[in-house]
Amino acid sequence: MNLIIDAGNRSVKLAVFKQRKLIFHQNIKTEHIARQVKEICDHYPEIERSIISSVGSLDRKTIAVLAVFGDVYELSHLSKVPFKNSYLTPETLGLDRIALAASAFYFNPKGNTLVIDAGTCVTYDMVNDYGEYLGGGISPGLHMRYRALHEQTAKLPLLEPEGFKDFIGNSTETCIHTGVVNGITLEIDAVIDQYRSRFTDLTVILTGGDAQFLSKRLKNTIFADSKFLLEGLNYLLEYNKF
């Protein structure tokens, strides 16, 4: 069994895989990670190794503590990957994007795949039918857009994501909702259309914390898979067996 630890900007995702089957997953706060990893390892004593992907929310001391519970592989830009990485600056490529590219490669090994991760940021990652990672794009995520309106203005309130009945808002709150939600969904649809104009038979995967909220609002056909990144990390752990 494999333990997957994905430390993002807002939380830590933990998962247990038995071969390629996900049998457990949860989201926790960073400060609870050591205790929760111990509980998971006690509950699943068959866990032999783990992988950590951290965008910066885990310090070195915490990572060292996790090694007490078993062999730990720390993902980096030096890790072996199953795809050809054509990113111009591979040392700056986010670990989450490396994992998503790996998942796309295994999900659709002979096809064109665009992965859209709707989390803190919205990232676009393209793997073509030659198994080559090309890059993509980064834009502000859903919650970031709401916070920006509140923090960069004097009077606009901070709101939580919410749908709207009409794209023409008739109050400050409804104008914010239609501006943010309509804006991000139109952006995603337009980006998908751009990629489809260049790549034939394009498969689009939507993942991340806001995937479910956004998926029903997109006009394009997509596959929504909230565990796509975790699956990619599991593939990479197997690919980098130690």
Give the tens place of pLDDT for each residue, 59-77: 777 777 778 877 889 999 9
What is the rounded CA–CA span in Å between residue 99 and residue 90?
13
Q: Is 96 a catalytic residue?
A: yes
Question: pTM value?
Answer: 0.92
Annotated binding site: 6-13, 87, 94-97, 117, 120, 172
pLDDT digit string (tens) for 171-223?
Answer: 999 999 999 999 999 999 999 999 999 999 999 999 999 999 999 999 998 99
Quick one: three-class SS letters along the chain? Answer: CEEEEEECCCCEEEEEEECCEEEEEEEECHHHHHHHHHHHHHHCCCCCEEEEEECCCCCHHHHHHHHHHCEEEECCCCCCCCCEECCCCHHHCCHHHHHHHHHHHHHCCCCEEEEEEECCEEEEEEECCCCEEEEEEEEECHHHHHHHHHHCCCCCCCCCCCCCCCCCCCCHHHHHHHHHHHHHHHHHHHHHHHHHHHCCCEEEEEECCCHHHHHCCCCCCCEECCCHHHHHHHHHHHHCCC
Q: Where are the domains of the chain?
A: 2-74, 84-233
* CATH number corresponding to 2-74: 3.30.420.40
pLDDT digit string (tens) for 124-171?
Answer: 999 999 999 999 999 999 999 999 999 999 999 999 999 888 999 999
Annotated binding site for ATP: 6-13, 120
Selecting among 59, 71, 96, 129, the annotated active-site residue is: 96
Looking at residue 242, its pLDDT comes to 63
> Into which CATH architecture does domain 84-233 fall?
2-Layer Sandwich (3.30)
What is the rounded CA–CA span in Å between residue 229 and residue 103?
7
Annotated binding site for substrate: 87, 94-97, 172
Q: 2-74 with 84-233: one CATH topology? A: yes
Looking at residue 57, its pLDDT comes to 63
Question: Rounded to the nearest 5°, which phi and psi values hold at 98?
Answer: -60, -45
Q: How far is CA 83 from CA 36, 77, 204, in A?
A: 33, 13, 18
Q: What is the dihedral of CA 99, 103, 109, 110, to 10 degrees?
A: -80
Looking at residue 37, its pLDDT comes to 87
Looking at residue 65, its pLDDT comes to 75
